[in-house]
């Protein structure tokens, strides 16, 4: 749907920053920017983010998810909060998936109250079921096409997911299974005829973690 109202603001991020402080305060989140909000848990973060719709539509989306810091930098102690991405995420459902109105400042203010209501109905119960990294690791595995009975037989397009899972296991302290899946990931990366620079970096990280596990 194209814009049906005339916007009375220029930047969605800027106008949202002051208005979504209410939601951040009520739900106990830290406001990183006008569109990103996080809450620290034990070894991970829960968060939500605002996503303006493309093509100039007069609505926006709210995504919520789980961030595990330094998954690919497992030996770094410093956490860059602004670089956190979601390992697992969902979108807050409202109005048959169209999103929350943001045609005007008043609509955004009204959307905040609606968003709080929907968030407590949908996102909060999902987050509250998570007890720690072990739960997140299992949830990640279940979100992929990886199968334990296909070790040594996975297709190479699953290399990143196998690596992620191995690193999740490493983060959660399951070194034995982490080694198994990181070796699987290393095999899959090695099957690729050509690797981009970032993929070479990923493969090097995998090998470094494998060395640490073997020396433990």
Q: What is the pLDDT along the chain (216 residues), one digit of tens a residue?
A: 444 567 888 888 999 999 999 999 999 999 999 999 999 999 999 999 999 887 778 899 999 999 999 999 999 989 988 778 999 999 998 877 778 999 899 999 999 999 999 999 999 999 999 999 999 999 999 999 999 999 999 999 999 999 999 999 999 999 999 999 999 999 999 999 899 999 999 999 999 999 999 998
* Longest CA pairwise span in the chain (Å): 63
Residues 48 and 92: their CA atoms lie apart, in Å, by 9
177: which DSSP letter?
Answer: H
Domain span at residue 169? 133-215
Phi-psi region of 56 (alpha: psi -120 to 50; beta: other; left: phi over 0): left
Q: Tell which of 72, 100, 128 closes a domain.
A: 128
Quick one: tokens of 140? 């990640």
Residue 2 lies in a domain: no
Sign of the four-CA dihedral 185, 79, 170, 47:
negative
Q: How much is the pLDDT for 5?
A: 65
Domain count, the chain: 2
Residue 154: other Cβ atoms inside 10 A: 20
Residue 117 lies in a domain: yes
Residue 3 lies in a domain: no
Residues 108 and 88: their CA atoms lie apart, in Å, by 26
Q: What is the pTM of this model?
A: 0.90
Q: How much is the pLDDT for 149?
A: 96
Q: How much is the pLDDT for 2?
A: 44
Residues 202 and 185: their CA atoms lie apart, in Å, by 10
Distance of CA 206 to the CA centre of its chain: 21
Quick one: tokens of 162? 């196998």
- Claim to verify: residue 20 and residue 64 sit in the same structural domain: yes
- Residue 63, strand partner residues: 49, 91
- Claim to verify: residue 204 and residue 162 sit in the same structural domain: yes
Per the CB < 8 A criterion, the answer to whether 100 and 53 are in contact is no
Locate all alpha helices (DSSP H) within the chain, ordered by sequence.
12-19, 21-27, 105-128, 133-142, 159-171, 175-191, 197-215
Residues 169 and 209: their CA atoms lie apart, in Å, by 11
- Claim to verify: residue 194 and residue 142 sit in the same structural domain: yes
- Claim to verify: residue 55 and residue 124 sit in the same structural domain: yes
Locate all alpha helices (DSSP H) within 62-174, ordered by sequence.
105-128, 133-142, 159-171
């Amino acid at each position: 749907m194209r814009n049906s109202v005339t916007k009375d603001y220029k930047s969605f991020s800027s106008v949202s920053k002051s208005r979504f402080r209410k939601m951040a305060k009520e739900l106990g989140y830290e406001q990183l920017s006008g569109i990103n909000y996080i809450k620290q848990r034990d070894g991970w973060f829960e968060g939500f983010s605002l996503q303006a719709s493309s093509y100039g539509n007069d609505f926006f989306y709210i995504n919520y998810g789980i961030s595990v810091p330094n998954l690919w930098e497992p030996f770094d102690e410093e956490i860059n909060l602004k670089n956190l991405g979601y390992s697992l995420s969902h979108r807050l459902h409202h109005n048959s998936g169209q999103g929350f109105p943001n045609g005007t400042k008043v609509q955004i203010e009204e959307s905040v109250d609606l968003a709080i209501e929907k968030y407590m109905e949908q996102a909060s119960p999902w987050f509250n079921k998570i007890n720690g990294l072990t739960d997140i690791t299992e949830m990640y595995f279940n979100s992929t096409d990886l199968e334990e009975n296909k070790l040594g037989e996975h297709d190479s397009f699953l290399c990143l997911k196998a690596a992620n899972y191995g690193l999740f296991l490493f983060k959660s302290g399951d070194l034995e299974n982490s080694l198994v899946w990181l070796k699987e990931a290393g095999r899959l990366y090695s099957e690729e005829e050509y690797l981009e620079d970032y993929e070479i970096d990923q493969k090097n990280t995998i090998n470094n973690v494998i060395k640490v596990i073997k020396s433990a």
